[in-house]
Structure 1
Amino acid sequence: MGLRFSEICIDATDIRMLSAWWSQVLGWPAENTDDGDVTLRAPGGVGPDWLFLAVPEGKAVKNRIHFDFTPDDQDAEVERVIGLGARRVDIGQGEQSWVVLADPEGNEFCILAADG
């Protein structure tokens, strides 16, 4: 018996807006599903797809799981994503090498220091 990591499910009050935002951030294509959800397809099948599911309630507390992204240029990527609508958030991380941001629905994610 084995498991394949195929999808990350993301609850959102506005799945069209949030999936379009992440599609722009990641450069991944968005597709409507037969169930009315939206999927972002990982390019070349590398990594899980992101499935956006509609929920009536907004985010209420800090994420229990979040995404970390490693850019080529941390400062440039932070500014690019903020320009798209992310915002800096303080979740008690203190002074660190990573930057904590939130997407338009408040989901936290980190942009790590660049490799090398």
Structure 2
Amino acid sequence: MPLRPVQVNIKAVDHPAVGRFWADALGWEVQASGATTYVAPAGGLRWPHPAVLGIDVVPVPEPKTAAKNRVHLDLATLSAAHQEELVERLRALGAAPVDVGQAEVPWTVLADPEGNEFCVLEPRDVYRDTGPVAAVVVDCADPRAMARFWGGATDWKVHEVSDEHGVLRAAAGTGPYLELLRVPNPKTAPDRVHLDLLPYPGDDKEAEVARLRALGARDLDVGQGDAPWTCLTDPEDHEFCVLALP
């Protein structure tokens, strides 16, 4: 059975602080803080969350470079007033405006306290039922090829695809979208943000990893050693991990 996306992984030098930022930004809570900081909606630790992608902030020694992340979050708003209020609140929490070449657009581009870019979108009907995270956005050169890979790798449904973008979402129609956006700039630095995938109970993790390799994924060594998760890259070198079942 294809894998399920279960969380967004964000690298940070100060993972507790960045975790608190994202909890406050999304109206969620820090549900676990130890080796990493896990953030999800209130209601007790349920991992994986049944309807949304949690955020797992993991410690790394190196600060973010000036290179723009190839993966970022888009946040949803319900009205122009909500968008304005959210931007002000995020800036008070430590977010900063950032210029990624967006020019005049109706959304606002910010960065979290360690420089990870994200967008606060103007209200859009398509995102009214996603929760605070509208989409995980992946920059790429070939959205069609990427949609084939991610549609085959996961149990998310491909909603639309063109030369400019691809859109996937959980088959249940809940939570954020995965959006594959065509951009002209190549990747120049490792991603600070990536998706973590999880097998379903009863599935064989190593068999799933072999299936991903057949789809075009490649093995990645980031010094993980004999960790229980497997690090891979998709066909355009975006990092992701296949986690072990708890």
Indicate whether the TM-score tops 0.5.
yes
1:35-50 to 2 correspondences below 5 Å: 36-50=164-178
Structure number with higher relative contact order (C-alpha < 8 Å, ≥ 6 residues apart): 1
Asked whether the 8 Å contact 1:62–1:91 carries over to 2, the reply is no
Does the alignment pair 1:104 with 2:212?
Answer: no
Match of 1:21 among 149, 154, 157: 149
Give the TM-score normalised by structure 2.
0.43
Change (3 A) 1:40 1:63: same
Long gaps (5+) in structure 1: none
In terms of fraction of residues, the more strand-rich structure is 2
4+ aligned runs moved over 6 Å, structure 1? none
Name 1:114's counterpart in structure 2: 245
Match of 1:5 in 2: 133
CA contact (8 A) 2:143 2:161 kept: no
Q: Work out the CA distance in 2 between the residues paired with 1:16 and 1:22.
A: 10
- 2:214 is the alignment partner of 1:83: yes
CA RMSD of aligned residues (A): 2.2
Is 1:62 aligned with 2:180? no
Instruction: State the Cα deviation string for residues 51-77 of structure 1 (Å, max 9, x = none).
Output: 111111222211101111121321111
- Bigger Rg, which one: 2
Q: Return 2-11 or 59-68, whichever deviates more.
A: 2-11
TM value normalised by structure 1: 0.86
> What is the SS of the residue equivalent to 2:139?
strand
